[in-house]
Amino acid sequence: MSIAERYSEILARKDAAAVRSGRKPEDVTLIAVTKTRFADELNEVIDAGATDVGENKVQEILEKHEKVKPVRWHMIGHLQTNKVKSVVDKVVMIHSVDSFHLAKEINKRAAAIDKVMDVLIEINSAMEATKSGIAADDVKALVSEIAENCENIRVCGLMCIPPRCEDPEDARGYFREAKIIFDDMKNWGLPEERVNPVELSMGMSNDFEVAIEEGSTIVRVGSSIFGPRRVR
């Protein structure tokens, strides 16, 4: 199957899962995760209808940005503060905010280009040492601190990556936990122009349908569209 065919198949499964969970297809966004893929492969998926692509390394965004047709870029991987400056003007959303230190730098660089940067707070669901993200219990404190200090950031919701599991059902509990915090965010009394929780970014190739059933609004799918990742 071609990239275009696989993209269409994942899109159809995404739409069906949205309807199954009582929502409209357009209420759940599919991000094509293009890490390790070449610019021509991005153009192929864009031609197939992809509106949003996700990368987990700044370097790859910089390398491909100019070579690829217009599309919405998402930063979904761990972001170092010294690289914020080079992506803040290129991405529509940063999914991986996990410290006030990082938020402050995003705020500063966004302010410099007169932009309000949309971000998500990344939860490390099982507190795995190999993953970034913060503990579920720390989300409220971080969001409050950002809301108070960062005029050029809008917190749009949460991102989570549960532990890798064979059976997607094993991830369901983690997705449910993230959804509870996400729903609770509306009750924190924070100003809407700073905290507008509308996006819950969860679900990857092997578990995106379960994630949608549990309330995901953005799924990030790579290998099911492009095949196994290249070794970098």
Ligand X SMILES: *Cc1c(COP(=O)(O)O)cnc(C)c1O
User: Which residues of the chain form contacts with ligand X (CB under 6 A)?
Assistant: 33, 35, 56, 76-77, 161, 204-205, 220-224
Closest C-alpha among 195, 159, 156, 155 to residue 179 = 159
CB of 230 to ligand X, least distance (A): 12
**Which residues, other chains included, contact 109 with Cβ-Cβ below 8 Å and sequence gap of 6+?**
84, 85, 88
Beta carbon nearer to ligand X, 77 or 168: 77
SS3 96: strand
Beta carbon nearer to ligand X, 74 or 154: 74
Name the residue whose CB lies closest to ligand X.
Answer: 222
Closest C-alpha among 123, 120, 124 to residue 103 = 120
Amino acid identity at 28: V
CB of 95 to ligand X, least distance (A): 7
Amino acid identity at 57: K
Beta carbon nearer to ligand X, 161 or 190: 161
CB of 188 to ligand X, least distance (A): 25
**In what helix (H) or strand (E) does residue 58 lie, and over which residues does it extend?**
helix 58-65
SS3 79: coil
Beta carbon nearer to ligand X, 54 or 215: 54
For residues 54 and 33, is the Cβ–Cβ distance under 8 A? Answer: yes
CB of 16 to ligand X, least distance (A): 18
SS3 226: helix
Beta carbon nearer to ligand X, 112 or 165: 165
CB of 191 to ligand X, least distance (A): 28
Largest interatomic CA distance in the chain = 49
CA–CA distance, 139 with 158 (Å, rounded to integer): 9
